[in-house]
Amino acid sequence: MKNSNNGKGIIIKDIDCEEAIKRLMDYIDDYLKTNRKSELEKHLASCRSCMDRYEFQIKIKTKISSLANKPDSIISNKLRELLDSL
């Protein structure tokens, strides 16, 4: 595979699995710059193993974030009383 151009003049380099894995969590956290993101996305589109790893990390992160989704509020009576007293 060769480096490619995304049509906006930005060269999208090929990266290997080691580099892709290094960037994965920054990508998931939306902390990658555009060109590094494009390079990773290009890699993920062609590498099943890295894509599996990416999907796994997303699911772990979703498990953690779902801890915040409680149907019942945990606001205490103490806090409600405090707000009423303000």
Partner 1 sequence: MLVQTDKTLFTKAVLQHADGLMRFAVSLCRNDHNAEDLVSETVLKAFENFTGLKDHSKLKSWLYRILYNQFVSTYRKNNRMKQVHISGGGDSQDSFSLFEKLTATGTEDPEKDFLQKLTAASVRKAIEELPLIYRQAIVLSDMEQFSYYEIAKILKVPIGTVRSRIARARQQLEKALWQLALDMGLTGNKSNSKEQHICTCGKEETVKIQAHEK
Select the residue interacting with partner 1 from 16, 34, 35, 41 (CB under 8 A). Answer: 16
Nearer CB in complex with partner 1: 11/60? 60
Q: Is 78 in the site for partner 1 (CB under 8 A)?
A: yes
Strand partners, 5: 11
- What is the 8-class DSSP label of residue 30? T
How far apart are CB 35 and partner 1 at their closest, in Å?
19
Q: Is 48 in the site for partner 1 (CB under 8 A)?
A: yes
Q: Is 73 in the site for partner 1 (CB under 8 A)?
A: yes
For residue 58, give both structure tokens.
Answer: 């997303």
* Helices and strands (DSSP H and E) totals, the chain: 4, 2
